[in-house]
Amino acid sequence: MRAVRERDAYANLVLPGLLRERRVEGRDAAFATELAYGACRSLGVLDAVIGDCAGRGVDEIDGPLLDVLRLGVYQLLRTRVGAHAAVDTSVELVRAEFGSGKAGFVNAVLRRAGERTPEEWVERLAPRDPLGHLAFEYAHPKWIAQAFADALGARADELRDLLAADDTRPEVHLVARPGDITAAELALVTGGEVGPWSPYAVHLEGGDPGKLEPVRAGMAAVQDEGSQLVALSLTRAPLHGPDTGRWLDLCAGPGGKTALLGALADIDGYRVDAVEPAEHRAELVRKATDGLPVTVHVTDGRASGLTPGYDRILVDAPCTGLGALRRRPEARWRRTPADVRDLTLLQRELLTAAWDLLRPGGVVVYSTCSPHLPETVAVVGDLVRRTDAEQLDTRALLPGVTDLGGGPAAQLWPHRHGTDAMFAAALRKPV
Protein backbone atom coordinates (compact mmCIF):
# COMPACT_ATOMS: atom_id res chain seq x y z
CA MET A 1 0.00 0.00 0.00
CA ARG A 2 2.85 2.35 0.80
CA ALA A 3 4.59 1.62 -2.49
CA VAL A 4 1.38 2.36 -4.40
CA ARG A 5 0.84 5.62 -2.50
CA GLU A 6 4.42 6.92 -2.42
CA ARG A 7 5.90 5.68 -5.70
CA ASP A 8 2.81 5.21 -7.89
CA ALA A 9 3.81 1.54 -7.99
CA TYR A 10 1.53 -1.09 -9.49
CA ALA A 11 0.16 -3.38 -6.79
CA ASN A 12 0.10 -6.44 -9.03
CA LEU A 13 3.81 -5.98 -9.80
CA VAL A 14 4.98 -5.19 -6.25
CA LEU A 15 2.99 -7.65 -4.14
CA PRO A 16 4.05 -11.02 -5.63
CA GLY A 17 7.72 -10.16 -5.08
CA LEU A 18 7.05 -9.09 -1.49
CA LEU A 19 5.17 -12.30 -0.75
CA ARG A 20 8.07 -14.39 -2.07
CA GLU A 21 10.63 -12.26 -0.23
CA ARG A 22 8.76 -12.58 3.10
CA ARG A 23 7.91 -16.23 2.43
CA VAL A 24 4.20 -15.65 2.84
CA GLU A 25 2.34 -18.60 1.31
CA GLY A 26 -0.99 -20.40 1.15
CA ARG A 27 -3.95 -18.86 2.92
CA ASP A 28 -1.83 -16.03 4.33
CA ALA A 29 -0.70 -15.05 0.83
CA ALA A 30 -4.28 -15.20 -0.43
CA PHE A 31 -5.45 -12.99 2.44
CA ALA A 32 -2.63 -10.47 1.93
CA THR A 33 -3.48 -10.33 -1.77
CA GLU A 34 -7.17 -9.76 -1.06
CA LEU A 35 -6.34 -6.97 1.40
CA ALA A 36 -3.86 -5.17 -0.84
CA TYR A 37 -5.70 -5.47 -4.14
CA GLY A 38 -9.11 -4.95 -2.57
CA ALA A 39 -8.04 -1.81 -0.71
CA CYS A 40 -6.47 -0.38 -3.88
CA ARG A 41 -9.58 -1.20 -5.90
CA SER A 42 -11.92 0.39 -3.30
CA LEU A 43 -9.81 3.48 -2.63
CA GLY A 44 -12.43 6.11 -3.45
CA VAL A 45 -15.04 4.56 -1.16
CA LEU A 46 -12.55 3.92 1.65
CA ASP A 47 -11.26 7.49 1.57
CA ALA A 48 -14.79 8.89 1.67
CA VAL A 49 -15.57 6.81 4.77
CA ILE A 50 -12.24 7.66 6.44
CA GLY A 51 -12.74 11.37 5.76
CA ASP A 52 -16.23 11.27 7.23
CA CYS A 53 -15.09 9.41 10.35
CA ALA A 54 -11.98 11.55 10.87
CA GLY A 55 -13.75 14.85 10.27
CA ARG A 56 -11.02 15.90 7.83
CA GLY A 57 -9.92 15.14 4.27
CA VAL A 58 -7.59 12.20 3.72
CA ASP A 59 -5.00 14.62 2.32
CA GLU A 60 -4.64 15.93 5.89
CA ILE A 61 -3.87 12.47 7.32
CA ASP A 62 -0.26 11.24 7.50
CA GLY A 63 0.38 8.83 4.63
CA PRO A 64 1.54 5.84 6.71
CA LEU A 65 -1.56 6.17 8.95
CA LEU A 66 -3.77 6.42 5.86
CA ASP A 67 -2.35 3.14 4.54
CA VAL A 68 -3.35 1.37 7.77
CA LEU A 69 -6.76 3.05 7.87
CA ARG A 70 -7.50 1.99 4.30
CA LEU A 71 -6.63 -1.63 5.12
CA GLY A 72 -8.68 -1.49 8.31
CA VAL A 73 -11.78 0.05 6.74
CA TYR A 74 -11.54 -2.39 3.83
CA GLN A 75 -11.64 -5.29 6.28
CA LEU A 76 -14.60 -3.76 8.14
CA LEU A 77 -16.71 -3.05 5.08
CA ARG A 78 -15.67 -5.50 2.40
CA THR A 79 -14.46 -8.73 4.07
CA ARG A 80 -15.77 -11.23 6.58
CA VAL A 81 -13.01 -10.36 9.06
CA GLY A 82 -14.53 -9.70 12.48
CA ALA A 83 -14.76 -6.01 13.42
CA HIS A 84 -12.82 -6.56 16.66
CA ALA A 85 -9.93 -8.25 14.81
CA ALA A 86 -9.85 -5.63 12.04
CA VAL A 87 -9.64 -2.78 14.54
CA ASP A 88 -7.18 -4.43 16.91
CA THR A 89 -4.66 -5.50 14.29
CA SER A 90 -4.73 -2.04 12.69
CA VAL A 91 -4.28 -0.27 16.04
CA GLU A 92 -1.42 -2.58 17.05
CA LEU A 93 0.31 -1.98 13.75
CA VAL A 94 0.20 1.79 14.27
CA ARG A 95 1.21 1.52 17.94
CA ALA A 96 4.26 -0.57 17.01
CA GLU A 97 5.41 1.94 14.38
CA PHE A 98 4.23 5.32 15.65
CA GLY A 99 3.26 5.09 19.32
CA SER A 100 0.07 5.25 21.39
CA GLY A 101 -1.06 8.76 20.40
CA LYS A 102 -1.56 7.97 16.75
CA ALA A 103 -2.88 4.53 17.62
CA GLY A 104 -5.72 6.27 19.49
CA PHE A 105 -6.65 8.27 16.40
CA VAL A 106 -6.75 5.14 14.22
CA ASN A 107 -8.80 3.32 16.86
CA ALA A 108 -11.38 6.13 16.94
CA VAL A 109 -11.70 6.34 13.14
CA LEU A 110 -12.09 2.59 12.70
CA ARG A 111 -14.65 2.26 15.47
CA ARG A 112 -16.75 4.96 13.81
CA ALA A 113 -16.36 3.22 10.45
CA GLY A 114 -17.63 -0.01 11.98
CA GLU A 115 -20.79 1.61 13.35
CA ARG A 116 -22.47 1.48 9.93
CA THR A 117 -23.00 -1.30 7.41
CA PRO A 118 -21.56 -0.97 3.89
CA GLU A 119 -25.06 -0.24 2.62
CA GLU A 120 -25.54 2.51 5.20
CA TRP A 121 -22.25 4.11 4.21
CA VAL A 122 -23.28 4.08 0.55
CA GLU A 123 -26.59 5.70 1.48
CA ARG A 124 -24.81 8.33 3.57
CA LEU A 125 -21.96 9.25 1.22
CA ALA A 126 -22.92 8.36 -2.37
CA PRO A 127 -24.01 11.13 -4.76
CA ARG A 128 -27.76 11.46 -5.22
CA ASP A 129 -27.82 11.10 -9.00
CA PRO A 130 -28.33 7.47 -10.20
CA LEU A 131 -25.06 7.18 -12.14
CA GLY A 132 -22.95 8.74 -9.37
CA HIS A 133 -24.65 6.57 -6.78
CA LEU A 134 -23.97 3.40 -8.76
CA ALA A 135 -20.35 4.39 -9.41
CA PHE A 136 -19.74 5.03 -5.69
CA GLU A 137 -21.44 1.80 -4.65
CA TYR A 138 -19.12 -0.25 -6.84
CA ALA A 139 -15.98 1.85 -6.26
CA HIS A 140 -15.54 3.51 -9.66
CA PRO A 141 -14.94 7.16 -10.55
CA LYS A 142 -18.11 8.56 -12.09
CA TRP A 143 -16.47 9.40 -15.43
CA ILE A 144 -15.47 5.75 -15.91
CA ALA A 145 -18.99 4.56 -15.09
CA GLN A 146 -20.27 7.05 -17.69
CA ALA A 147 -17.77 5.75 -20.27
CA PHE A 148 -18.98 2.19 -19.63
CA ALA A 149 -22.63 3.25 -19.94
CA ASP A 150 -21.87 4.97 -23.26
CA ALA A 151 -20.10 1.87 -24.59
CA LEU A 152 -22.98 -0.39 -23.51
CA GLY A 153 -25.29 1.83 -25.57
CA ALA A 154 -28.80 0.42 -25.79
CA ARG A 155 -27.88 -2.11 -23.11
CA ALA A 156 -26.85 0.46 -20.51
CA ASP A 157 -29.21 -1.30 -18.10
CA GLU A 158 -26.34 -3.81 -17.69
CA LEU A 159 -24.17 -1.15 -16.05
CA ARG A 160 -24.76 -2.43 -12.50
CA ASP A 161 -23.73 -5.97 -13.53
CA LEU A 162 -20.66 -4.62 -15.32
CA LEU A 163 -19.52 -2.47 -12.38
CA ALA A 164 -20.12 -5.35 -9.98
CA ALA A 165 -18.03 -7.71 -12.13
CA ASP A 166 -15.33 -5.05 -12.39
CA ASP A 167 -15.28 -4.71 -8.60
CA THR A 168 -14.54 -8.37 -7.82
CA ARG A 169 -11.32 -10.34 -7.75
CA PRO A 170 -10.79 -11.91 -11.18
CA GLU A 171 -9.74 -15.48 -11.83
CA VAL A 172 -6.23 -16.18 -13.09
CA HIS A 173 -6.26 -16.96 -16.82
CA LEU A 174 -3.49 -19.03 -18.39
CA VAL A 175 -2.68 -19.57 -22.06
CA ALA A 176 -1.39 -22.96 -23.20
CA ARG A 177 1.36 -22.44 -25.77
CA PRO A 178 0.21 -24.00 -29.05
CA GLY A 179 2.48 -26.85 -30.09
CA ASP A 180 3.74 -27.42 -26.53
CA ILE A 181 0.69 -28.30 -24.44
CA THR A 182 -3.08 -28.39 -24.88
CA ALA A 183 -5.55 -26.52 -22.70
CA ALA A 184 -6.92 -29.86 -21.45
CA GLU A 185 -3.43 -31.02 -20.44
CA LEU A 186 -2.69 -27.67 -18.78
CA ALA A 187 -5.95 -27.81 -16.83
CA LEU A 188 -5.12 -31.34 -15.65
CA VAL A 189 -1.62 -30.35 -14.50
CA THR A 190 -2.68 -27.13 -12.75
CA GLY A 191 -6.06 -28.18 -11.37
CA GLY A 192 -7.74 -25.44 -13.39
CA GLU A 193 -10.65 -25.49 -15.82
CA VAL A 194 -10.57 -25.11 -19.59
CA GLY A 195 -11.82 -21.65 -20.59
CA PRO A 196 -15.12 -21.28 -22.46
CA TRP A 197 -13.96 -19.22 -25.44
CA SER A 198 -10.29 -19.59 -26.40
CA PRO A 199 -9.02 -23.08 -27.33
CA TYR A 200 -5.85 -22.29 -25.34
CA ALA A 201 -7.36 -20.83 -22.15
CA VAL A 202 -7.34 -22.30 -18.63
CA HIS A 203 -8.90 -20.60 -15.60
CA LEU A 204 -7.56 -20.87 -12.04
CA GLU A 205 -9.33 -19.59 -8.94
CA GLY A 206 -6.14 -18.04 -7.54
CA GLY A 207 -2.62 -18.77 -6.33
CA ASP A 208 0.79 -17.77 -7.66
CA PRO A 209 0.92 -18.88 -11.31
CA GLY A 210 4.68 -18.25 -11.32
CA LYS A 211 5.11 -21.39 -9.23
CA LEU A 212 3.34 -23.66 -11.71
CA GLU A 213 5.69 -25.99 -13.57
CA PRO A 214 4.17 -25.41 -17.07
CA VAL A 215 4.59 -21.64 -16.55
CA ARG A 216 8.16 -22.04 -15.27
CA ALA A 217 8.96 -24.27 -18.25
CA GLY A 218 7.57 -21.74 -20.75
CA MET A 219 4.77 -24.07 -21.91
CA ALA A 220 2.12 -21.71 -20.53
CA ALA A 221 1.83 -18.09 -19.43
CA VAL A 222 -0.57 -15.77 -17.65
CA GLN A 223 -2.88 -14.11 -20.19
CA ASP A 224 -6.48 -12.97 -20.00
CA GLU A 225 -8.73 -15.03 -22.24
CA GLY A 226 -9.89 -11.83 -23.95
CA SER A 227 -6.33 -11.04 -25.01
CA GLN A 228 -6.02 -14.54 -26.44
CA LEU A 229 -9.16 -13.98 -28.50
CA VAL A 230 -7.76 -10.74 -29.93
CA ALA A 231 -4.58 -12.49 -31.12
CA LEU A 232 -6.61 -15.37 -32.53
CA SER A 233 -8.89 -13.02 -34.46
CA LEU A 234 -5.87 -11.76 -36.40
CA THR A 235 -4.83 -15.29 -37.41
CA ARG A 236 -8.39 -16.18 -38.52
CA ALA A 237 -9.15 -13.09 -40.60
CA PRO A 238 -9.66 -13.88 -44.31
CA LEU A 239 -7.04 -12.37 -46.61
CA HIS A 240 -7.21 -11.62 -50.32
CA GLY A 241 -4.44 -13.78 -51.74
CA PRO A 242 -2.16 -16.26 -49.97
CA ASP A 243 -0.63 -15.72 -46.54
CA THR A 244 3.09 -15.32 -47.17
CA GLY A 245 3.86 -15.61 -43.47
CA ARG A 246 4.87 -12.00 -42.76
CA TRP A 247 3.11 -10.98 -39.54
CA LEU A 248 3.66 -7.89 -37.41
CA ASP A 249 2.80 -6.95 -33.83
CA LEU A 250 3.19 -3.17 -33.86
CA CYS A 251 2.71 -2.59 -30.09
CA ALA A 252 4.28 -5.74 -28.69
CA GLY A 253 5.30 -5.02 -25.08
CA PRO A 254 5.16 -6.86 -22.73
CA GLY A 255 4.80 -9.73 -25.21
CA GLY A 256 1.78 -11.84 -24.28
CA LYS A 257 -0.06 -11.55 -27.59
CA THR A 258 3.25 -11.66 -29.48
CA ALA A 259 4.08 -15.00 -27.88
CA LEU A 260 0.73 -16.51 -28.87
CA LEU A 261 1.09 -15.17 -32.41
CA GLY A 262 4.65 -16.47 -32.54
CA ALA A 263 3.63 -19.96 -31.43
CA LEU A 264 0.85 -20.10 -34.04
CA ALA A 265 3.17 -18.72 -36.73
CA ASP A 266 5.79 -21.34 -35.85
CA ILE A 267 3.36 -24.17 -36.67
CA ASP A 268 3.06 -22.95 -40.27
CA GLY A 269 6.65 -21.85 -40.71
CA TYR A 270 5.74 -18.14 -40.59
CA ARG A 271 7.57 -15.28 -38.86
CA VAL A 272 6.51 -12.36 -36.62
CA ASP A 273 8.14 -8.96 -36.35
CA ALA A 274 7.51 -7.27 -33.00
CA VAL A 275 7.88 -3.53 -32.40
CA GLU A 276 8.40 -2.03 -28.93
CA PRO A 277 9.96 1.44 -28.37
CA ALA A 278 11.09 0.93 -24.74
CA GLU A 279 14.16 -1.28 -24.28
CA HIS A 280 13.06 -2.72 -20.92
CA ARG A 281 9.71 -3.75 -22.41
CA ALA A 282 11.43 -5.06 -25.54
CA GLU A 283 13.43 -7.33 -23.25
CA LEU A 284 10.17 -8.65 -21.80
CA VAL A 285 9.03 -9.44 -25.36
CA ARG A 286 12.29 -11.29 -26.04
CA LYS A 287 11.82 -13.40 -22.90
CA ALA A 288 8.17 -14.12 -23.67
CA THR A 289 8.99 -15.24 -27.23
CA ASP A 290 12.22 -17.15 -26.54
CA GLY A 291 12.54 -20.02 -29.00
CA LEU A 292 9.83 -18.67 -31.31
CA PRO A 293 10.22 -17.15 -34.82
CA VAL A 294 9.89 -13.59 -33.51
CA THR A 295 12.23 -10.69 -34.27
CA VAL A 296 12.04 -7.76 -31.83
CA HIS A 297 12.63 -4.23 -33.15
CA VAL A 298 13.25 -1.48 -30.59
CA THR A 299 11.67 1.44 -32.42
CA ASP A 300 8.61 3.68 -32.51
CA GLY A 301 5.73 1.96 -34.29
CA ARG A 302 4.71 5.27 -35.88
CA ALA A 303 8.00 5.42 -37.79
CA SER A 304 9.37 1.88 -37.58
CA GLY A 305 11.40 1.87 -40.81
CA LEU A 306 10.12 -1.65 -41.54
CA THR A 307 9.54 -2.75 -45.12
CA PRO A 308 5.83 -2.70 -46.07
CA GLY A 309 4.06 -5.80 -47.31
CA TYR A 310 2.79 -7.54 -44.17
CA ASP A 311 -0.07 -10.01 -44.44
CA ARG A 312 -1.35 -9.55 -40.89
CA ILE A 313 -0.72 -6.73 -38.42
CA LEU A 314 -1.88 -6.42 -34.82
CA VAL A 315 -2.20 -2.93 -33.33
CA ASP A 316 -2.87 -3.57 -29.64
CA ALA A 317 -2.64 0.13 -28.93
CA PRO A 318 -1.64 1.86 -25.68
CA CYS A 319 -4.89 2.92 -24.02
CA THR A 320 -6.50 4.01 -20.75
CA GLY A 321 -6.84 0.35 -19.72
CA LEU A 322 -10.41 0.89 -18.53
CA GLY A 323 -11.28 -2.63 -19.63
CA ALA A 324 -8.67 -4.25 -17.39
CA LEU A 325 -9.39 -2.44 -14.12
CA ARG A 326 -10.11 -5.76 -12.39
CA ARG A 327 -6.47 -6.75 -12.85
CA ARG A 328 -4.91 -3.33 -12.15
CA PRO A 329 -6.54 -2.46 -8.86
CA GLU A 330 -5.25 1.09 -8.40
CA ALA A 331 -5.60 2.16 -12.05
CA ARG A 332 -9.19 3.44 -11.83
CA TRP A 333 -8.14 6.14 -9.37
CA ARG A 334 -5.11 7.26 -11.41
CA ARG A 335 -6.66 7.70 -14.82
CA THR A 336 -8.41 10.98 -15.67
CA PRO A 337 -10.47 12.11 -18.68
CA ALA A 338 -7.50 14.29 -19.64
CA ASP A 339 -5.48 11.11 -20.43
CA VAL A 340 -7.80 10.23 -23.30
CA ARG A 341 -6.91 13.01 -25.75
CA ASP A 342 -3.18 12.23 -26.04
CA LEU A 343 -3.88 8.50 -26.20
CA THR A 344 -6.42 8.77 -29.01
CA LEU A 345 -3.95 10.80 -31.07
CA LEU A 346 -1.31 8.09 -30.54
CA GLN A 347 -3.82 5.35 -31.36
CA ARG A 348 -4.77 6.99 -34.67
CA GLU A 349 -1.12 7.48 -35.62
CA LEU A 350 -0.27 3.83 -34.87
CA LEU A 351 -3.24 2.51 -36.84
CA THR A 352 -2.32 4.73 -39.79
CA ALA A 353 1.28 3.48 -39.65
CA ALA A 354 0.04 -0.12 -39.64
CA TRP A 355 -2.19 0.58 -42.63
CA ASP A 356 0.81 1.87 -44.57
CA LEU A 357 2.78 -1.31 -43.75
CA LEU A 358 -0.06 -3.64 -44.81
CA ARG A 359 -0.07 -5.26 -48.24
CA PRO A 360 -3.15 -5.03 -50.47
CA GLY A 361 -5.46 -7.83 -49.35
CA GLY A 362 -3.89 -7.95 -45.89
CA VAL A 363 -5.66 -7.47 -42.57
CA VAL A 364 -4.94 -5.29 -39.56
CA VAL A 365 -6.66 -5.91 -36.24
CA TYR A 366 -6.94 -2.85 -34.01
CA SER A 367 -7.52 -3.64 -30.34
CA THR A 368 -7.57 -1.93 -26.96
CA CYS A 369 -8.12 -3.13 -23.39
CA SER A 370 -10.60 -0.28 -23.09
CA PRO A 371 -14.24 -0.10 -24.25
CA HIS A 372 -14.17 3.72 -24.15
CA LEU A 373 -15.76 4.89 -27.43
CA PRO A 374 -13.18 7.61 -28.26
CA GLU A 375 -10.47 4.90 -28.10
CA THR A 376 -12.37 2.24 -30.05
CA VAL A 377 -15.02 2.90 -32.69
CA ALA A 378 -13.93 6.53 -33.10
CA VAL A 379 -10.33 5.55 -33.94
CA VAL A 380 -11.48 2.85 -36.37
CA GLY A 381 -14.07 5.17 -37.93
CA ASP A 382 -11.39 7.80 -38.51
CA LEU A 383 -9.26 5.37 -40.54
CA VAL A 384 -12.25 4.12 -42.52
CA ARG A 385 -13.19 7.70 -43.42
CA ARG A 386 -9.68 8.55 -44.57
CA THR A 387 -8.91 5.33 -46.49
CA ASP A 388 -10.65 2.60 -48.46
CA ALA A 389 -10.43 0.21 -45.51
CA GLU A 390 -12.98 -2.61 -45.55
CA GLN A 391 -14.37 -3.41 -42.12
CA LEU A 392 -14.71 -7.15 -41.56
CA ASP A 393 -17.24 -8.63 -39.14
CA THR A 394 -14.81 -9.28 -36.28
CA ARG A 395 -17.48 -11.26 -34.42
CA ALA A 396 -17.23 -13.96 -37.11
CA LEU A 397 -13.52 -14.33 -36.23
CA LEU A 398 -14.46 -15.42 -32.71
CA PRO A 399 -16.61 -18.50 -33.38
CA GLY A 400 -18.61 -19.70 -30.40
CA VAL A 401 -18.25 -16.43 -28.49
CA THR A 402 -21.71 -14.97 -27.85
CA ASP A 403 -23.04 -11.47 -27.25
CA LEU A 404 -20.22 -9.48 -28.87
CA GLY A 405 -22.30 -6.42 -29.68
CA GLY A 406 -23.88 -5.00 -32.83
CA GLY A 407 -20.73 -5.29 -34.97
CA PRO A 408 -18.81 -5.06 -37.14
CA ALA A 409 -16.28 -4.75 -34.28
CA ALA A 410 -16.31 -7.14 -31.32
CA GLN A 411 -16.57 -5.99 -27.69
CA LEU A 412 -15.90 -8.36 -24.79
CA TRP A 413 -17.13 -7.62 -21.26
CA PRO A 414 -16.30 -8.91 -17.76
CA HIS A 415 -19.96 -9.45 -16.85
CA ARG A 416 -20.82 -11.23 -20.12
CA HIS A 417 -17.67 -13.17 -20.92
CA GLY A 418 -15.56 -13.25 -17.75
CA THR A 419 -12.74 -11.52 -19.65
CA ASP A 420 -11.26 -8.04 -19.66
CA ALA A 421 -13.33 -5.57 -21.72
CA MET A 422 -11.28 -6.06 -24.88
CA PHE A 423 -12.26 -4.32 -28.13
CA ALA A 424 -11.19 -5.64 -31.54
CA ALA A 425 -11.86 -4.45 -35.09
CA ALA A 426 -10.54 -6.17 -38.25
CA LEU A 427 -9.83 -4.04 -41.34
CA ARG A 428 -8.82 -5.39 -44.76
CA LYS A 429 -6.97 -3.42 -47.43
CA PRO A 430 -8.60 -3.74 -50.87
CA VAL A 431 -6.51 -5.31 -53.63
63 is in an annotated binding site: no
**Residues 239-267: tens digit of each pLDDT:** 999 999 999 999 999 999 999 999 999 99
What are the structural domain ranges in the chain? Answer: 1-119, 126-167, 172-222, 225-429
Q: How confident is the model at residue 66 (pLDDT cuts 50, 70, 90)?
A: very high
254 is in an annotated binding site: yes
Instruction: Assess whether 53 carries a catalytic annotation.
Output: no
Pairwise CA distance, residues 300 & 253, whole Å? 12
253 is in an annotated binding site: yes
86 is in an annotated binding site: no
- Give pTM, 2 decimals: 0.94
**Residues 360-371: tens digit of each pLDDT:** 999 999 999 999
- The amino acid occupying position 423 is F
Pairwise CA distance, residues 33 & 208, whole Å? 10
Catalytic, out of 40, 53, 319, 369: 369
207 is in an annotated binding site: no
Cβ neighbors of 244 (< 8 A, separation 6 or more) are 311
Cβ neighbors of 341 (< 8 A, separation 6 or more) are none
Task: Check: CB of residue 340 under 8 Å from CB of residue 372.
Answer: yes
User: How high is the pLDDT of residue 399?
Assistant: 96
368 three-class SS: strand
* CATH number of the 1-119 domain: 1.10.940.10
User: How high is the pLDDT of residue 129?
Assistant: 97
CB atoms within 10 A of CB 351: 26
256 is in an annotated binding site: yes
CATH 3.30.1360.200 correct for 225-429: no
88 is in an annotated binding site: no
Residue 329 has pLDDT above 90, yes or no: no
**Residues 374-430: tens digit of each pLDDT:** 999 999 999 999 999 999 999 999 999 999 999 999 999 999 999 999 999 999 999
375 is in an annotated binding site: no
**Residues 155-185: tens digit of each pLDDT:** 999 999 999 999 988 899 999 999 999 999 9
Residue 350's nearest CA partner among 373, 371, 375 is: 375
User: How high is the pLDDT of residue 45?
Assistant: 96
